[in-house]
Amino acid sequence: MNKIRFHTDEQVERAIAEALRRRNIDITTTPEVGLLSATDEKQLTFALAQERVIFTQDDDFLVLHQQGLEHYGIVYCHQNSCSIGEIVRGLILIWEALEPLDMQNHVEFL
C-alpha cells in the first residue's frame, strides 16, 4: 500500500514535521525545499509534482481548491484551533487511514 507523503507551507510549526519524521512519515517543509516566500500556487505545484499532500493553516489554499486548481490533496487546520499534538495526531490518522489517491483534489479538515 502506498503511503501519503506530506509537505508543509511556511506558516506551519517545524515541530509538526519533526514529530511526523519520528514516526517515519515522509514530509518536506517549505524552507527545506527552497520555497520560502513562494506563492501558494507554487507550493501546490511543487506538492503535486512530488505527489505530496500539503498541510496548511492558510485559508488561501481553500480558495485555490474552490477555484479548481489541481492538487495532490490539502489538509487544512484553522490557525490556533488545534494544538501541535492534535495536528500531529490528525495527520497520523490521515496517513494511517487514507491512500494518496483518496486525497487527490480533496481537502481534509482537522
**Per-residue pLDDT tens for 50-75?**
999 999 999 999 999 999 999 999 99
- Has residue 57 been placed in a domain? yes
In a domain, 1, yes or no: no
Into how many domains does the chain fold?
Answer: 1
Domain span at 63: 6-109
Record the pTM: 0.94
- What is the per-residue pLDDT across 19-36, written as a single tens digit (0 to 9) for each? 999 999 999 999 999 999
One-letter amino acid at 106 equals: H
Determine whether 41 is exposed, middle or buried from the number of CB atoms within 10 Å of its CB (0-12, 13-18, 19+): middle
Q: Are 54 and 7 in contact (CB under 8 A)?
A: yes
Label the pairing between strands 107-109 and 74-76.
parallel
- Beta strands 107-109 and 53-56 are unpaired
Residue 49 CA to residue 38 CA, distance in Å, equals 15
Backbone angles phi, psi at 4, to 5 degrees: -65, 140
